[in-house]
Structure 1
Amino acid sequence: MQLPKQHRHAELLLVTATIIAASGWIFSKEAIQHLPAFGFIGIRFLLAALCLLPFCYRDLCLIRPIVLLKAFSVGSVLGCALLLWIYAVSISETLGEGAFIMTLSQLFVPLFAWLLFTDKPTTAFWYSLPFAIIGLVLLSALGEWNQSSTQLWFLLAAIMLAIHFNLNSRYAQRVPVLLLTCIQLCSIGIIGLVISAYFEVWPDVIPSSTWRWVGLSIIVATSLRYAIQTKGQKGASAANAAVIMILEPIWVFIISIIWFAETMSLYKIIGCSLILLSILINRGMGQFVPLYLQKYKSRFMTKIR
């Protein structure tokens, strides 16, 4: 009976991680009210990398320069994804909607694995794709896409996250997890600060409350979130962990309604639901559909005979 308890504890940790991740959207939105968006990303992830550095310094001294360069380059792709994301957050009035669009990155992963490395998607992917497309059409306000251009930025961020996932799984497998996280957080921070220096103007005075939101983003939404998530993933089954992590956009939607009094029309709620359904199908529910079809086909052939 101890094993199920361990599984429940791990799954509870994962649920907690999704709530913290959703809260990170609110922290970020509040922080960039008085901070440049790209500069905020730079500060957040560079300081988070420095927090991890003491725990992986020895591994950093042993890593080969070419491996370090690959890890840094892959982290740069993640940095581009997060810069697109924070820009979308900065101009968005519907965070919940954006969170559902961002979950499409999980659906894009097999697509880009196919395009980049010729790894064919599973049958579940093809079953899930129509639901995602219909969901995006509904989210585009049935032809009013120009009135909600932030959706496009969230979509681009989701695409970049999918590309990063594929590159990360191919070129960064030999790097210890903690060191890889530190390197990639560092690359994100550097890219954010460099772009901010060139394109953004920093205010002369930044309220102290803004730095509290920055601190929450670094300590809670980044460091604590990934620590809890990693511990939870070690104790939970991969299938359950995957489904639990899909809770994040739901929490974002709920928290944004409470915090920002956001509203969403019925057809957009249906669109978000279809996107969520597509992710669930792609995560494994799709295997039941071909099995059912195969069973139906067998019965049909039996009747013919």
Structure 2
Amino acid sequence: MLPERRGDLFILLATLLASAGWLFSKEAIAGLPPIGFIGWRFFLAALIMLPFCYRQLFALPLALLLKAAAIGLVMTLNLVFWIQGISNSHGIGEGAFIMSLAMLLVPPLAWLTFKERPTRSFWLALPIAVVGLFLLTMGNGLSFSKGQAFFLAASLSLAMYFNLNSRFARRIDPVALTCIQLAVVGLMHLLYSVLFEQWPAYIAPVTWGWFAASVLLATSLRFGSQTVGQKYSNVGNAALIMMLEPIWTVLISVFWYHEPMPAQKVMGCILILTALLSYRSASLLTWYRLRSKRHTPSA
């Protein structure tokens, strides 16, 4: 099998594991405190990844280590909003599509914080996404439910994380960077859980099963598959395959939770996906053009 095709398969596996992680998490927090669950999930995942990157971690300058940890704090905020969104929602499908809007929130945040003006493709995709969000979330009048508001906040904080991570952590090995940030997320959530959450006296074995699946499959194996896939896969293929995550999540939610998907919500999902595809396609086309110019020999 060609390395690029193998990379695409690893990226596809990562999207399936990520979407399954929504289910694992929602089932696990039925018997575990949500913040404590996230804390142990990410801290244990960091420990699992540690043997694969400890040499790179010891070789990191202190400044880069602190920078990676600081970006992990933004990731912490994102996970707080995300798990609260899951806790306050019946299903998980519409939340996955709201979270996918993070890719469209990256350009305006980059404009505000780094003075980088969005491209024309962003302004063309934005109104399509806004209409899609309206159809997806406004089924009960002009108001967000609590779960939807948390997912939108999670999408915004995820966009900020993408902006910071892409600029301040380029010189760090990706596995080491992931390990640092997972550890920061885990430790911060565990600290909050110790101070403010009450753990149940008895936790059912099935809950521990969902917890183990979250740690081993949806976190460790997912990030590992994504890292390997990005190493071999074409960047354009990887970006488009990653957009399948909300689709898998909707299918899981409809099957497992019987989440209602009336025509209005389906159209909202389609519009959001259309906006993301159009924006991604334009961005990748620009990237390919710049790459081809760099590799074209001068006359």
TM-score scaled by structure 1?
A: 0.89
C-alpha deviations, 1:10-43, integer Å up to 9, x for none? 2222222211111111000110000011100000
In structure 2, give the amino acid aligned to 1:274: L
Q: Which has the larger radius of gyration?
A: 1
Q: Which stretches of structure 1, 4 residues or longer, exceed 6 Å deviation after superposition?
A: none
Alignment CA distance shift 1:283-1:36 (3 Å): same
Quick one: which of 202, 206, 218 aligns to 1:205? 202
Q: CA deviation at 1:285?
A: 4.4
On the 8 A contact 1:97/1:253 being kept in 2, the answer is yes
Aligned partner letter, 1:35: L
Going from structure 1 to structure 2, the CA distance change for 1:100 and 1:205 (only over 3 Å counts) comes to same
Partner of 2:15: 18
Aligned-pair identity (%): 47
Q: Relative to 1, partners in 2 of residues 1:169 and 1:54: Cα closer, same or farther, differing over 3 Å? A: same
| Residues 172/205 of structure 1: CA separation in 2 closer, same or farther (3 Å cut) | same
Structure-1 residue corresponding to 2:291: none
In the alignment, the residues of structure 2 paired with residue 10 and residue 58 of structure 1 have an alpha-carbon distance, to the nearest angstrom, of 25
Q: Structure 1 stretches of 5 or more lacking a match?
A: 289-305
Q: Give per-residue Cα distances to partners, 1:48-81, cap 9 Å, x unaligned.
A: 1111112222222232222211111100101110
Per the TM alignment, residue 6 of structure 1 is displaced from its structure 2 partner at its CA by 3.7
Specify whether residues 126 and 218 from structure 1 end up closer, same or farther in structure 2 by C-alpha distance, changes over 3 A only.
same
Is 2:74 the counterpart of 1:60? no
Correspondent of 1:117 among 80, 105, 114: 114
Name the CA shift for 1:170/1:147 in 2 (closer, same or farther; >3 Å): closer
Amino acid at match of 1:155: L
Q: 2-side partners of 1:117 and 1:100: how far apart?
A: 27
Q: In structure 2, do the counterparts of structure 1 residues 13 and 62 end up closer, same or farther at CA, with 3 Å as the change threshold?
A: closer
Q: Which residue of 2 aligns with 1:162?
A: 159
Aligned to 2:87: 90
Once residues 21 and 138 of structure 1 are traced to their aligned partners in structure 2, the CA distance between those partners, rounded to angstroms, is: 25
User: In structure 1, what is the Cα distance between the partners aligned to 2:167 and 2:49?
Assistant: 23
* CA deviation after TM superposition for structure 1 residue 248, in Å: 0.5
Is this contact kept in 1: 2:175–2:227, CA < 8 A? no
Cα distance in structure 2, aligned partners of 1:145 and 1:95: 21
Partner-residue secondary structure (3-state), 2:159: helix
* 2:238 partner amino acid: A
Cα displacement (A) at 1:178? 1.4
Q: Distance in 1 between matches of 2:224 and 2:28?
A: 22
- In the TM superposition, what are the counterparts of 1:21-170 in structure 2 within 5 Å? 21-141=18-138, 144-146=141-143, 148-170=145-167
**How far off its partner does 1:149 sit?**
2.3
Q: Amino acid of the residue matched to residue 38 of structure 1?
A: I
In structure 2, the gaps of 5 or more residues are 286-299
CA distance in 2, matches of 1:131, 1:114: 20
For 1:303, the equivalent position in structure 2 comes to: none
In structure 2, C-alpha distance between the alignment counterparts of 1:206 and 1:145, rounded to whole Å? 39
Which of 181, 184, 187 matches 1:184? 181
Q: CA deviation at 1:215?
A: 0.8
The separation in 2 between residues aligned to 1:75 and 1:125, in whole angstroms, is 27
Describe the superposition over 1:157-209 as per-residue Cα deviations: whole angstroms up to 9, x where unpaired: 01101101111112222222111111100000011111222332111111111
Corresponding residue number in structure 1 for 2:240: 243
Report if the CA contact (8 A) 2:100-2:246 is conserved: yes
| Structure 1: distance between partners of 2:144 and 2:129 | 21
- 1:260 equivalent in alignment to 2:257: yes
RMSD: 1.7
The count of residues paired between Structure 1 and Structure 2 equals 285
Change (3 A) 1:191 1:7: same
AA matched with 1:157: A
Q: Residue 278 of structure 2 is aligned with which of 271, 278, 281?
A: 281
C-alpha separation between the residues in 2 aligned to 1:116 and 1:32? 35
Q: CA deviation at 1:114?
A: 1.0
TM-aligned CA distance change 1:179 to 1:12, over 3 Å? closer
CA-to-partner distance for each residue in 1:230-260, whole Å, 9 max, x for gaps? 2222222111111111100000000111111
Flag the 1:287–1:12 CA change in 2: closer, same or farther, 3 A.
closer
Q: Is the contact between residue 124 and residue 284 of structure 1 (CA under 8 Å) also seen in structure 2?
A: no
* Alignment-derived partner of residue 295 in structure 2: none
